[in-house]
């Protein structure tokens, strides 16, 4: 009898369990059906910031603080479209150079691993492509802070008569800028030195993320062994991006600035710039006077955002700043190397290129003048333009030339690109300068 009772009880329990399994299975199918409606456009999900749709995946935060002797390692995947903004660790924790209390968000959102297919053959929607891991060779960067007597520089470039401006170039700013483009011997070659993925295009006012992956697929690590590139990159962590925060410049950082100017002064674009300005009577032929002028022009601090000593031409144009008054926004930030490094660390979320003015002329992996939209530390830069692959010495020479000899609008030719170099003055300083594609 006892055995019979136990048997009946087990049958009853199995029946109840089976009902629950069926209920769970039905709920699963309803969930899957609802997501299919979202994907097909029959239903919207407004939980994401800026109106993005949430993928049906779970998210996890993964701290990224790997440091190696030769430099930090880049995570293999781009920060996913995220339900909330990533929180970064303090700058000094990973960079070791900042003590001003500004907190950088240093962590990335990584998608939690899911099965590619379930037993019905249903695939996960919206999976981000994995990215190849890269290393940045920065073992020699700290050496740039050492005294001038301990610095080693490249040999002076031997260009002969090619750096002598012609009469046509002296009378035509566009021709002079184009000569600078030709003299940029350090400019990178698309497909050989790096590869980008432009993603899809958008208009400036659109906020949807139109890029499935990073802007940069890869960059040859040898790039960071080039003297002007590595000295330029060593300067990028010297600044607090808060536009209203007074900068504190150490003696070591001043040495980095001097070392950078000394290094680029040995290249063809800067030699051409010096010749041009001296022939125009703007600066003396004395090389040391020229270097001092360049250091003051690009690195001397001035007030921005209501605080004296809070900004410089170099910080604004190349590093970028975050405007704190009213709604936060990113200003400046027009350099591709800074973009690459910040994207690699998970601080930049590339969101697509801005449609060119002419239809049918969309950028591709070979394009070197690109207008883009991105978020930096969760703050939107709705439109920004950058000369991808250009050397630091070329950009410094180009913008300095336009500052001294151009106006606010400077329509010039740079190789295959018709460009308007926008130049805004801040008294006798560079307030902002950047390229705008004219086609």
Which residues does the annotation mark as catalytic?
A: 316, 334, 381
Give 3-state DSSP helix, strand, coil % of the chain, rounded to 5: 35, 20, 40
What's the CA gap between 223 and 121, in Å, rounded? 44
DSSP state of 317: I
How many CB atoms within 10 Å of residue 144? 23
What the block records as the tokens of 198 is 């432009």
What's the CA gap between 404 and 422, in Å, rounded? 13
CB 226 within 8 A of CB 70: no
What's the CA gap between 297 and 261, in Å, rounded? 11
CB 131 within 8 A of CB 111: no
Closest CA to 379 of 242, 275, 260: 242
Closest CA to 126 of 55, 67, 195: 55
What's the CA gap between 34 and 412, in Å, rounded? 53
């Amino acid at each position: 009898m006892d055995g019979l009772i136990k048997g009946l009880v087990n049958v009853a329990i199995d029946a109840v369990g089976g009902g629950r399994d069926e209920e769970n299975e039905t709920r699963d199918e309803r969930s899957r059906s609802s997501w299919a409606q979202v994907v097909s456009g029959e239903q919207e999900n407004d939980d994401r910031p800026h109106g993005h749709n949430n993928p049906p995946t779970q998210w996890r935060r993964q701290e990224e603080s790997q440091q190696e002797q030769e430099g930090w390692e880049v995570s293999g995947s781009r920060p996913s479209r995220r339900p909330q903004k990533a929180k970064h660790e303090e700058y000094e924790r990973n960079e070791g150079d900042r003590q001003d209390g500004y907190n950088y968000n240093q962590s990335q959102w990584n998608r939690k691993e899911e099965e590619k297919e379930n037993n019905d053959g249903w695939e996960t929607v919206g999976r981000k492509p994995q990215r190849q891991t890269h290393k940045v060779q920065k073992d020699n960067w700290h050496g740039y802070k050492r005294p001038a007597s301990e610095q080693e520089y490249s040999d002076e470039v031997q260009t002969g008569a090619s750096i002598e401006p012609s009469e046509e170039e002296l009378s035509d700013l566009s021709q002079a800028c184009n000569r600078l483009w030709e003299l940029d011997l350090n400019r990178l070659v698309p497909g050989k030195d790096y590869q980008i993925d432009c993603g899809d295009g958008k208009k400036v006012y659109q906020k949807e993320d139109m890029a499935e992956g990073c802007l940069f697929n890869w960059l040859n690590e040898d790039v960071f062994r080039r003297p002007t590139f590595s000295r330029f990159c060593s300067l990028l962590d010297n600044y607090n991006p808060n536009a209203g925060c007074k900068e504190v410049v150490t003696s070591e950082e001043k040495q980095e600035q001097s070392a950078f100017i000394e290094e680029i002064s040995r290249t063809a674009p800067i030699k051409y710039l010096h010749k041009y300005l001296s022939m125009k009577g703007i600066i003396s032929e004395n090389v040391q006077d020229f270097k001092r002028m360049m250091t003051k022009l690009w690195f001397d601090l001035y007030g921005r955002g209501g605080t004296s000593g809070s900004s410089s031409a170099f910080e604004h144009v190349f590093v970028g700043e975050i405007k704190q008054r009213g709604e936060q926004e990113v200003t400046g930030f027009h350099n591709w190397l800074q973009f690459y490094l910040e994207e690699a660390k998970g601080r930049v979320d590339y969101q697509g290129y801005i449609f060119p003015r002419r239809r049918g002329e969309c950028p591709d992996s070979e394009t070197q003048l690109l207008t883009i939209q991105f978020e930096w530390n969760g703050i939107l830069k709705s439109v920004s333009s950058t000369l991808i692959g250009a050397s630091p010495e070329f950009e410094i020479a180009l913008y300095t030339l336009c500052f001294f000899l151009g106006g606010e609008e400077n329509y010039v030719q740079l190789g295959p690109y018709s460009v308007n170099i926008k130049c805004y003055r801040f008294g006798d300083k560079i307030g902002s300068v950047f390229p705008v594609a004219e086609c």
